[in-house]
Amino acid sequence: MTEAPMLLAEALGGGAAGAALGLAHFGALWRNTRLYAQGHAGAGLALQLARLGLVTAGLTGLALLGAVPLLAGTAGLLLARRRVVRRRQAEAEAGAPAGLTGAAPGAGGRP
């Protein structure tokens, strides 16, 4: 394989892996926040460690493949973050129940 197609394949693979990591990480972050808000600190801590371990392992694996997969993976992770945040904001603006948006009960107004 020549240089350009190889770099493109590495970039696409790294970006896809990063996006998958990001969706898993930031999707679980919503659940993590809910666990802490509901007083389930043990489960929240376990999920947080799992989330961070998954991203650490994924980015380490991409770094071992080289700079291009790592940079593309990081970009994919950040794009996934943007997608998850926008989806949660849209749900909150649409008036979805607090259990679906991740907002703690009463978080929208001041006491």
Answer whether residue 25 is part of any domain. yes
Give me the numbers of helices (H) and strands (E) for the chain, helices first please.
4, 0
On whether the CB atoms of residues 86 and 27 are closer than 8 A, the answer is: no
Average pLDDT over residues 5-9: 92
Answer whether residue 105 is part of any domain. no
What's the confidence (pLDDT) of residue 7? 92
Number of folded domains in the chain? 1
Q: Mean of the per-residue pLDDT values for the chain?
A: 87
pTM: 0.76
Answer whether residue 58 is part of any domain. yes
On whether the CB atoms of residues 30 and 84 are closer than 8 A, the answer is: yes
Average pLDDT over residues 15-39: 94
Answer whether residue 101 is part of any domain. no
At 99, is the pLDDT very low, low, confident or very high (cuts 50, 70, 90)? low
DSSP, collapsed to helix, strand or coil, labels residue 38 as: coil
Chain mean position to CA 35: 17
What's the confidence (pLDDT) of residue 92? 84
Answer whether residue 110 is part of any domain. no
What is the extent of the structural domain holding 65? 3-95
Answer whether residue 100 is part of any domain. no
Sign of CA dihedral 8, 14, 17, 19: negative
In angstroms, the CA 31 to CA 29 distance is 5
On whether the CB atoms of residues 36 and 44 are closer than 8 A, the answer is: yes
pLDDT at 24 over 90: yes
